[in-house]
Each structure stands twice: as C-alpha cells, then as structure tokens.
Amino acid sequence: AEAWKVLTRNNPFPGVTGRVCPHPCESACNRTYFDGAAVNINCVERTVGDFGLHKGLAFEKTAQNKNGKIAVVGSGPAGMSCAYQLARMGYDVTVFEAAPKPGGMLRYAIPAYRLPEAVVDAEISRIVNLGVTMKLNTAVGKDISFDELKKQFKAVYVAIGAQSGTALGVEGEEGRVLSGLVFLKSVRENNPAKIGKKVVIVGGGNTAIDAARIARRMGSDVTVLYRRTAVEMPAYEEEVTAAQEE
C-alpha cells in the first residue's frame, strides 16, 4: 500500500502503464552491472497498480480548497493526470470530453487484449472520486466555445491528444484505405469496420501491429509492409514477435 502511494504521487495510472509502457528505462538500468539484470520495473508497476485496484485504494484530497475553477479539455491520460494533480491540490476541476466515455486513446485505440476496459474505468473512477466533474459528449468548439471556457474558468488545460490518422497520399485510397486509429476505434466501439479476406497494413509502429493483430483475429490474412528492416520497426519488439506468432 505504501508503494502504491509513492507510485501514484506522479502517476495516477499504474495499472495502465504497467500494461502498455514499453519500459525503455530497463535497457539503461544500472542494476544490470551489479547482478546481470535490470529491475523489471514494468512488472513492478503493474503489480503495485493491480494491488491498488484489488484493495480499492483511493486517492487522498487536500483539505485546502484553492480559489478558482479549472477546465481540462480531453479525458485521455494527459487530461486526467492534470485533473488528478489539480484536484489533489484543492482546485475545482471540470473535464470536457467529446466522446461518450472518458479515457481517450487508452479506451478507443489500445486493444482490449493489451489494456482491459475495466482497468481504464477503475483508474479513471479514482480520479473522478476526488471531486472532478466530467462533461461527456461535450465537444469544445461545438457544444461549448473555447471563449466560453476562458470566461467561466480561471485556467484551461488543453489535452486533445493525437487522434488523427495520416493519409497515404496515393491514388485510389479513398474509400478503400482506413487509418489504423479509425479501425481500432471501430473495434473498441463494437462496430468493427468491414475488412476483406486479405488485409495489408502499411507501417511498422505500435498502431500498425495492433491493427494487424486485430485484423488477424477477425479472420483476415494479414501482411505488414514496412519501408525499413524489421530491426528498425518502432513497434515494441514483444508485440512484433506476438504478431508473427499469430
């Protein structure tokens, strides 16, 4: 429990990061020089995070109330982390989210086999329980203007994420080519995009590999095309290996 308190001072999502972080720090861990192996911090974080979820550990809020309301635009990991820190300081925080559920790309982009929705729900609920107000299905610029936010709140933190895909820019792609994020989101929303028997994934990042594994599980024959070598693929090595095994 004490380890959980220490860990969550800076990171309110230990159960999430313990599952999806690629732990690059382990390759530079100086423990390797003492006993031949890095500290497996990724599994430590997941274990401590899951302990907190299992035991129902809750965040402590300061008794001091700060003067001023703060708006956070976006309920992904950046937005909810900001809301968490501000709420613990005693600020009145309101989060505006265009989607029907909070979590951003944690919920709508990362496949459930890597990050179960129940973990996202539980770790976000702890933050909300600090007194954070959630305004879901509320798009800034549509349902409320940015100028209105600036009038109503002392400060505005914008955490809209990077949820736009990139077009290939080749002839004939319109209507036949989906961005990886659009495809993954359709699956998470239980309304999967229709794909053919043979699917080509262009790219070698984590989104590409996630899309490849999901398409394979939907019954398609999948080929991943990447412009460089397999060693140079930016996707996590264990994810690439798992995809090949599938």
Question: pLDDT of 123-132, one tens digit each?
Answer: 999 999 999 9
Reduced to 3 states (helix: H, G, I; strand: E, B; else coil), residue 222 is strand
φ and ψ of 123, to 5 deg = -75, -30
* Strand residues in the chain grouped as ranges (E): 69-73, 92-96, 133-135, 155-158, 198-202, 221-225
Q: Give the span between the Cα atoms of 81 and 86, in whole angstroms.
A: 9
- In whole numbers, what is the pLDDT of the chain averaged over residues? 94
Look at residue 202 in the predicted model and tell me its pLDDT.
95
Helical packing angle, 41-55 and 117-128, nearest 10°:
70
Residue 143 confidence (pLDDT) above 80: yes
Look at residue 63 in the predicted model and tell me its pLDDT.
76
Residue 22 confidence (pLDDT) above 90: no
Confidence class of residue 62 from pLDDT cuts 50, 70 and 90? confident
pLDDT average, residue stretch 66-73: 94
Which two three-digit tokens encode residue 88?
């613990």
Is the Cβ–Cβ distance between 159 and 73 less than 8 Å? yes
Look at residue 238 in the predicted model and tell me its pLDDT.
87
Query: Could you give the angle at the alpha carbon of 50 between the alpha carbons of 182 and 13, nearest 5°?
Result: 50
Q: Is 164 exposed, middle or buried (0-12, 13-18, 19+ CB in 10 A)?
A: exposed
184-193 burial: b if 16+ Cβ within 10 Å, else e:
bbbbbeeeee
Look at residue 206 in the predicted model and tell me its pLDDT.
93
Q: Give the percent of the chain with pLDDT over 70.
A: 100
81 alpha-carbon distance from chain centroid: 11
Residue 67 confidence (pLDDT) above 90: no
**3-10: long-range pairs with CB below 8 Å, 24+:** 3/48, 4/48, 4/49, 4/51, 4/52, 4/57, 5/57, 7/45, 7/48, 7/49, 8/52, 8/59
Is the Cβ–Cβ distance between 206 and 235 less than 8 Å? yes
DSSP class of 30: T
pLDDT average, residue stretch 191-201: 95
Look at residue 226 in the predicted model and tell me its pLDDT.
97
Confidence class of residue 116 from pLDDT cuts 50, 70 and 90? very high
* Strand residues in 52-132 grouped as ranges (E): 69-73, 92-96
Look at residue 61 in the predicted model and tell me its pLDDT.
83
